[in-house]
A and B are shown apart, each in its own frame.
Chain A
């Protein structure tokens, strides 16, 4: 079933299929008739100039926005109207362009919130910390510790997130997404505002996540070097339309893409 692609990844079947998606906010067309798919275990990049509709696309995937037209098929099932928390229980996790963590809470607690959809105990049980709640908390804590170990952030385990530098906050956000053990991970500009070293670290973590847990990853990124290095296939958006789709090499040589990025001589 699965094949090895040029990056040595065992890319599988299509798990997410977006067909003719159009999204409008009043008269503004954010996305127009966009179709692409995401295969299991691959790293799929969405690129495009500012305002191209990249974040809107992610929001469509995890159910924040509901496109007026088009079909979304996830794991072979057509998606009806859905809320973001349902996306989370279906195994979709994401990080945000402008970090959305609880600044006053410790790294540990922030990552723990990623486990929320997996917690079975009721509110009362947890408040009273009864037998089952205690056992559950320990199990979740262990999972969180594995994430902390994976991302090498042991030294800031108990530090309030607000006190951390930007690069580390980004890593914590990734940690929270990982704690949900997603099958599909959406990363909205995971490397924005980072220096070279931080970018390298982040790339390594993304590749490791993909390699070790087999997580499928959809990421938006502006750094072309990063995109071309780590992704298997790239979708290019411009003004809400798809203007390119294919391997990094295909996209790099696509005339329309070059025009969108560099401008066209008239």
Chain B
């Protein structure tokens, strides 16, 4: 087959400059029969080998070219983690275009800005729901030429000529490939490593989202560094369930998978992740802290319902794990009796527990995105899950600091990753330099110039410092760090995170910049507090009702006072003790713009929206009436009103050592 031989030669000739399409076709050659992707469909895991993925990508790319996709075009990808959507990324890159994944749960109007900003001509979406969203705003997107959908369900009556079934596009591509067998090879050859490989939009915590252009070489450098650091091989299995628009998912499920050649597994649906996790048993796993927290909460709730013997056994095993589990994981010396106890506990409780959690095979697990509670972190490490923290931003391919095996500190994010240079500016801001930095913000030279300083350092906007062992500690966003009226440092995130470490507190917002005292809004965790209330026979009708119960206030007050007790020992933050707090009558929600899609609090928005509550704090009132508009999932608008109680919390006197 002379044709195949020549196309293979074309590949080897060009492997010097690595791009993701080249990596893909390389895997298709050297490990063609190895599984590349899996997805559960109709209850059965379907597998695509690397060779099949390459064929699909080729068909998709040729089909897109047939539709008129050109080098330099941006293509929007909107949907849950589906194999074909990942393939689309590689297909678009093969043609020299740029995939732009969007958060799939955003409403049409939120997507509009990104679609306009990126000048989207082509969009590949998951299903009818996403097609409808695009049609809703289509009039404001004159440049949008083609919409391609992956799931044909409900699409029978959509006969607009610009809407295509992905199967039809791929069929077209296969014909195109027969007629022009060397078309795609030549397109891939034209790609260079400095081309933008993907564009990820920042969540827009501050102002409009910005498109972060990340070159092939940046993500490849970040992925290679990570793979070496944790010795990831082609045999890893990973569950791809976090939004494709998020930099972490792109790093783990796309970049690292293509660099190391391991298998990604897509869940059946958003609701089945837990089951899918157990069935796949990933060896490499990423989850934001709240996922780890939910898992643990579920286990604890189920344990409380178990029989007395089982509960005793569980408590004993957890004690043993707490005593020596983390040390055994880190390979530190442990006494013979502890080791024996751990072996028994592992056999009876810990092993089965890990199996239920789907964590039996995990070699490396990471968490990031928010601070993780020390108890939570310790729990997973004590049952032998090698959970570590990392630190990074969209602009750095989520690759700045990693915790090395055996050197885990609860409150640090680890050491600078291979190839990364980290520096602390005079104002405490963390500066980063390395091959993984962004190329630019899309069509925003002003923002690019602002983010990268004259010496080529990216300014992360986070404040932090290195401890004595060279581990980086993050305090807060540099711009959020303020000063209280007496000049003491005020780091709201730091306080909020301490509050959120309690299972009963879901969200917290602290105020105190320029004020005499720190006050805080609290959102209770409906699951944990609801269960707590149920066990005490406290009846409630819904969130608003539960949040206003005096018993719940007492419960939260205990948490707040415990945080105060911790803060008093925190030296420079001792003045940030929380004097007054209230429990909000509604949950902060991305639909109401109070949180970003990645569930970070929009601090300024919240303080403006609830200004009347903040005034009440500092006016010394004991309650305040408030009425708030809420948006429901279907777009309807309703109102929630409540008379909120404001409580004083006990604070502790600050003992200052004489200077």
Contacts and interface: CB of A to CB of B under 8 A. Distances in A.
Whether both chains belong to one complex is answered with yes
Interface stretch (B133-141, B168-176, B267-275, B282-290): B267-275
Nearest to B154: A208
Contacts of B43: 141, 145, 148, 154, 157
Interface residue tally on B, bucketed by range: 10 to 19
A196 B634 CA distance: 10
Interface in A124-166: 141-142, 145-146, 148-150, 152, 154-155, 157-158
A142 B272 CA distance: 18
Contacts of A154: 40, 43, 268-269, 271-272
Given A155-B269, A155-B272, A197 B42 contact: no
A57 B382 CA distance: 63
Nearest to B42: A145
Contacts of B13: none
B639 interface: no
A8 B156 CA distance: 13
Nearest to A143: B42
A254 interface: no
Interface in B632-654: 632-634
A146 B43 CA distance: 9
A155 B634 contact: no
Contacts of B275: 155, 157-158
Contacts of B154: 208, 211-212
Interface string B610-621: 000000000000
Contacts of B269: 152, 154-155
Contact of B42 (A146, A196, A212): A146
A200 B634 contact: yes
Contacts of A197: 632-634
Contacts of A142: 42
Nearest to B633: A197
A211 B42 contact: no
B301 to A, nearest CB: 14
Interface residues of A, number: 19
Interface in B248-277: 268-269, 271-272, 275
Interface string B130-153: 000000000000000000000001
Nearest to A146: B42
Nearest to B275: A155
B277 to A, nearest CB: 12
Contacts of A200: 634
Tell me which of A154, A197, A200 has the highest count of chain B C-beta atoms within 10 A of its own C-beta: A154
Contacts of B153: 150, 208, 212
Contact of A211 (B156, B272, B633): B156
Contacts of A157: 43, 275
Interface in B476-512: none
* Residue among A148, A155, A196, A200 with the highest chain B CB neighbour number at 10 A: A155
Given A197-B634, A211-B156, A212-B156, A155 B271 contact: yes
A200 B633 CA distance: 12
B271 to A, nearest CB: 3
Nearest to A150: B153
Nearest to B44: A145
Q: What 9 pairs between A and B have smallest CB-CB spacing?
A: A155-B271, A145-B42, A155-B272, A145-B43, A154-B268, A154-B272, A154-B269, A149-B42, A146-B42
10 contacts: A145-B43, A146-B42, A149-B42, A152-B269, A154-B268, A155-B268, A208-B154, A211-B154, A211-B156, A211-B157
Interface of A: 8, 141-142, 145-146, 148-150, 152, 154-155, 157-158, 196-197, 200, 208, 211-212
Given A148-B42, A197-B632, A212-B156, 16 more contacts: A145-B42, A145-B44, A146-B42, A148-B43, A149-B41, A149-B42, A150-B153, A154-B268, A154-B269, A155-B271, A157-B43, A196-B634, A197-B633, A211-B156, A212-B153, A212-B154
